[in-house]
Structure 1
Amino acid sequence: MTDDEGDTLYQAVSSRDARFDGEFFFAVRTTGIYCRPSCPAVTPKRRNVAFFTTAAAAQGHGFRACRRCRPDAVPGSAAWNVRADVVGRAVRMIGDGVVDREGVPGLAVRLGYSARQVQRQLTAELGAGPMALARAQRAHTARLLLQTTALPVTEVAFAAGFSSIRQFNDTIRAVYARTPTELRAETPGAPGPRDAAGVPLRLAYRGPYATREVFDLLAAEALPGVEEVTGPPGDRTYRRTLRLPYGPGVVAVGERAPGRWLEARLHLAELRDLTTAVHRLRRLLDLDADPYAVAERLGADPRLAAAVAARPGVRSPGAADPEEYALRTVLGPEGSARVLAESGTPLDAPDGSLRALFPAPAELTGHPVAGPLARALADGVLRLDPGADRDEAARVLGAVPGVGARAAARIRVRSLGDPDVPAPDGADAPEWAPWRSYAQRYRDVSPR
């Protein structure tokens, strides 16, 4: 990093600019603590400050997380949603828990690189390799469980993805400078039983967030039995079932934003799925977006300027289950309802109106409409997971029978989380890149 680049970042720290929370972290050499840019503590002198791209990099240099600003709870960097290269794909997969489940070799296989190449590229660009990034994520998950549930400490360790109690204790001490018991004791009030209350979450985002438009879309698309939106506009709750690696889950998210976060609650059959569930929820709600960058690019065009000014923070939602969304896109609402009734996987106990998981692709390979797409997904010919190669997925989608141009564009936007999908009718402009998916959302939510 050049001195000029460091000075620019220091200006963001000096002004406590929350727009940069999650985009970088700063550490103070004299205290051994790292923070988010908006930390309300006294601004340190420039000569004592070091900058890091990730929290994992700061931790790797021996810095501890600030107790005041909780830098581990910031939104993720929007760069990983935009970038389609190996580093961007790797970060998204680590967020989805691939390293916890499959290790670095599994991550490397999914990326099509050797483990050494992945380590080298991530370390060179992010200052931390895949294990360090996963370790930072586990520490955050452990803190969340310690402070919001009554789980025994040993159960928290394994639920957060640690392979041993010693590794768990060492990591918590290194990241937070406290023991797990001390970390739990900092939370006022005793956590309630997790089975009754689930895991409460505060899902952070940056900048303005157009909750009404997001919840309008969720309500319009909701598939009864899998999803529901209840309550009056402005105070709605979105609930849905989740198919997760270790078992099913149910999530509820509130529309009201009491701060720079949405409040949610997760009920999981297996707490090992917490990290993955949170990551998928963030992708669904597009919580890691950079609305400032979107507004700067799209608001400069007279065709979109009024809409951008009138509706700040419009998001381009993704999908909680990319394969499910793709299949439902091809089936349509009525076809999806029939498939759910015929082939859905019932929950062990219905949760209100939520009663089932949407069928997995392998269960629909013989379906007359969804069959070709289901076979491509089940066989691994088409990948829609967070680490998928977007260009390759677009090529495969274009060759699947029954997937038209409009359906393919919707799947790219929602299932792949691609922020720059051209409109299938050509009604967009190259200068809107890399935010053409957001431009379409502004066109959808604004009166013509």
Structure 2
Amino acid sequence: MSEAEAEPVAATGPTILVVDDEPNLRRVLGAVLQRDGYNVLVASGGREAVRMAKEQPVDLLVTDFLMPDMSGLEVLSAVRGNHPNVRALLISGHGTVRSAVDAMRLGAFDFITKPFDVEQVRATVKRAFEAPDAESPAPAPGAAAAAGVAAGRSGGRTDAAGVGRDLVGGAPATERMKEHLLRAAASRVTVLLLGESGTGKEVAARLLHNASPRKRGPFVAVSCAALPDTLLESELFGHEKSAFTGALAAKPGRFELAHGGTLFLDEIGDIPHITQVKLLRALQEREIARIGGVKTIKVDVRVVAATNRDLWQAVQEGTFRADLYYRLNVVPVALPPLRERREDIRPLAEHFLALAAGENERAFPGGIAPEALRLLEAHDWPGNIRELQNALAHAAVLSDPGAHRIEADALPAAVRQGVAAKPAVLRAVSG
């Protein structure tokens, strides 16, 4: 009998289909998962796996990525034709990690790199079945937007109306960003926000959280660049009493505080190497250990990271771990600089003027004078949205008492003089 026809061990648990062209790996995985109570089917290649999936139900697909007859991605796509909600775990060699990340974008639950520890596979399989719902393939752009609007009206999973309302502006680049955020919000995979300083990455992260199934959970933000290396690890993972000098009491970390919600890691490219290792483990195992602690703590956290650096370049230079990069870069979303969305300058300026007027108990019924608006729209905004907001706050404070609108002479000198911007160019790597 072939392995696919071998008499299975009696089991009452979910059905797992293991696909790999390496006989030893198939046997080991099959035996381990059967001992855990799963009903295990094994196939030596993609075509055999697809045939088996047509004949019987499959709850989880565990497949190698590179096989002679079909790739793991092709197997996943074909099996989903019969079982749309099947969960998938990809096994990849070092050279196929990027492809495994692509599979996660199409709905795979997770991926494991070779060589792997059997216990890691067991834990990942367990998490796959404990997850509240299976990952779904990313919908087509139009379908995602339509579904999001409907869900926003009915209180469903994706609050597209909220995203559109809070992200001021309607430039093409802004609309693309909104759509990408909507598509990412419905999933639980890691999102990497890419953009220059001041482009609104934390605002985007909050909107992504508020449009997601985790919107009733906590949103916890950490600025990795603002904390010294010695404190960052404690902030993220917590510490036990007496773990180090000054640790007078146990303290939970941000991962624990974000349980059930979203953890936003800003300026992720600035974290030290030792913290990168621990962050990678937290993302892989969904568990953390406090500094000075002896037990692991399970955490259910969706991570959204952000950077103004070229992380792929950092990987090439050896300052950022490649495996962590692939974990973070599952769904990259680029936030355009303000100079690439000039149509948004006027509505943003009016929005920030209203905020500044309220904070300073001023009123500007005439809004922004035409010459002032011309200068605002001509400026390159090296500091992006943050600089624009500060410029309107500056103008609101320095405008003459009784002024009914913002005049050009109230704007900051850099805006009036048209100082050219020389921002660093960020190259978005889509994995």
TM-score range, shorter chain: under 0.3
TM-score normalised by length of structure 1 = 0.27
TM-score normalised by length of structure 2 = 0.27
- Flag the structure with larger Rg: 2
